[in-house]
Amino acid sequence: MIIPHPTQFARIPGHFTFDESTAVRASGDALGAARLLRTLLAPATGLPLRQSPTGTVVLVVDAMLGGLGDEGYGLTVGPDAVLLRAARPAGLLRGVQTIRQLLPAQALSARPVTGVPWRMPGVQITDVPRFGWRGAMLDVARHFQPVSFLRRFTDLLAFHKLNVLHLHLTDDQGWRMPVAAFPALTEVGGVRAGAVPHSGAYTAAELRGLVAYAAERGVTVVPEIEMPGHARAALAAYPGLGNVPGRALDVWTEWGVCDTVLGVHDEVLDFCRTVLGEVLDVFPSPYVHVGGDECPVTEWETSTAARRRAAELGLGAPRALHGWFLGQVGEFLLAQGRRPVCWAEDSGALPADFTVMPWRDSAHGLAAARRGHDVIMTPYRSTYLDYPQSADPAEPPGQAGGVVDLRAVHGAGAAPADWEPAAAARVLGTQAQLWTEYVSTPAHAEYLAFPRLAALADRAWNPASDWSADFSPALRLHEARLDALRVPRRSPAPTTTLR
Ligand code: ACM
């Protein structure tokens, strides 16, 4: 009754009990997992889990176990020993999370627990994820979230064997990414006025610390810097980046799609390359997201400079500047050895080499896959956690327009069954989105995230997991785990929002 549902699981006789004398045997590439096991079990159990060459909890990285891939693991729990093996260190990190779920839920407590035998059932598990991208996006632009919460959220992702934390760091309503070359991005762009003033930005040291913390848990932090739309906070800081010379703009105090977008002159591309250069310095992720969604082209259509640029480039209509713009920043990222990612919201062409996230309709993902793009499935009807999880009037106010319930999240899976194999092979995985227009506190974010994120993790890891036979019974046990982790299960008080 593990979530995500292991790909092969058998109960075998006996139990293994952790106690004061239990020691861990690990060396070389397995040391990180040994450290993580100790770190995660210490708060509740207080067990020292000393390292010893004769330890009975044995962690091994063996490249010969190639069938386990990058993140698979084998776990045998018997009465006298625990053997956790993987081909790569990340596989051991996933196995450590399984050990946590095999223990009594109290092992997950942040406070010492006494009088509980730390006993695991005998099991034989071979567990390999189907998809390599199993993520969650957190919007820290609309409502800034403290780095302490980002660490906790990372722990919750890792607990569900999710491996990507996508941080939406900039938007019309706030810029949270520090950029030394352009300090006003956070000093001006990080501060929102209006009826409910709001501000916040990270330091580079905080973000580097988060990246390291996440890496210890096998989670990659993927940064997103929005362009050329959703950039009003940057325009408030540096109006010269816009399409109307001499215009002063505020950090936007409304939700929705803002007409003001970046200009297309050389200084803007230089700005984007400088910003991304600093982003690459902080985030080692192979993938970097540059937004690309909801970019109205009205300003380009009415700007003489933008129209001239489109003509010079032989693009025809100014709306074609969108793909050109993304292509320019994509080339920069590729030259730096990174892979560009953007949102896809229709079936139109996007620059080659982009990995795309279709958010409106999975059919747009199919169109992109057929054109040769890698795809991460993010359709809003099954992956947007800012929609209420039920129609219960007690749900806190959320995104209008429907309910995304647990069953919808679990039912979607990643690659739709009716795609042809060549297109399905382009699907890297799936990801949940937690936009925060209506979410200003960590408690509210966690309330919305769980248990829906557990459902997404389940199917992304193991598409064969069945709602009735596997996930639903496992969730009943899992709820005790979420309680031990103090994930809020009751609707939080409504938070104040903009209009
Ligand atoms: C999006 O929801 N605008 C990606």
Please give the full DSSP string across 109-158, using - where no structure is assigned.
Answer: -SS---S--EEEEEEEEEE--S-SEEEEEEETTTS---HHHHHHHHHHHH
Residue 461 near residue 4 (C-beta atoms within 8 A):
yes
* Alpha-carbon gap, residue 36 to 284, rounded angstroms: 21
Tell me which residues have their CB closer than 6 angstroms to ligand 1: 293-294, 343, 359
Find the 55 Cα to ligand 1 centroid distance in Å.
50
**Minimum-distance ligand 1 atom for the alpha carbon of 433:** 2
pTM (global) more than 0.85? yes
230 is annotated as an active-site residue: yes
Residues paired with 375 in a beta bridge: 356, 427
Q: What type of residue sits at position 96? A: V
Mean pLDDT throughout 473-482?
98
Q: Is the pLDDT of residue 245 over 70?
A: yes
Residue 452 near residue 385 (C-beta atoms within 8 A):
yes
* Alpha-carbon gap, residue 127 to 465, rounded angstroms: 13
* Alpha-carbon gap, residue 457 to 6, rounded angstroms: 11
* Alpha-carbon gap, residue 482 to 468, rounded angstroms: 20
Residues paired with 161 in a beta bridge: none
Find the 429 Cα to ligand 1 centroid distance in Å.
18
Q: Is the pLDDT of residue 497 over 70?
A: no
Q: Would you kindly state where each structural domain of the chain is located, as residue ranges? A: 8-127, 133-484
Type and span of the H or E element at 452: helix 452-461
* Alpha-carbon gap, residue 382 to 391, rounded angstroms: 15
Q: pLDDT per residue over 29-69, tens digit each? A: 999 999 999 999 999 999 999 999 999 999 999 999 889 99
For the record, the structure tokens of 223 come out as 């940064």
Instruction: Report the DSSP pairing between strands 8-18 and 118-127.
Output: antiparallel
CATH superfamily of 133-484: Glycosidases (3.20.20.80)
> What pLDDT band is residue 495 in, cutting at 50, 70 and 90?
low
Beta strands in 242-323 (DSSP E): 287-291
- Going by CA atoms, what residue is nearest to atom 2 of ligand 1? 359
CATH of domain 8-127: 3.30.379.10
466 is annotated as an active-site residue: no
pLDDT at res. 490: 75
Distances (CA, A) of 419 to 367, 370, 423, 467: 10, 10, 6, 22
Question: How many Cα neighbours within 13 Å face the side chain of 162?
Answer: 28
* Alpha-carbon gap, residue 222 to 212, rounded angstroms: 13
The whole-chain average pLDDT of the chain stands at 96
Beta strands in 160-206 (DSSP E): 164-168, 170-171, 174-175, 191-192, 198-199
Among 171, 172, 226, 386, the one annotated catalytic:
171
Mean pLDDT throughout 3-20?
98
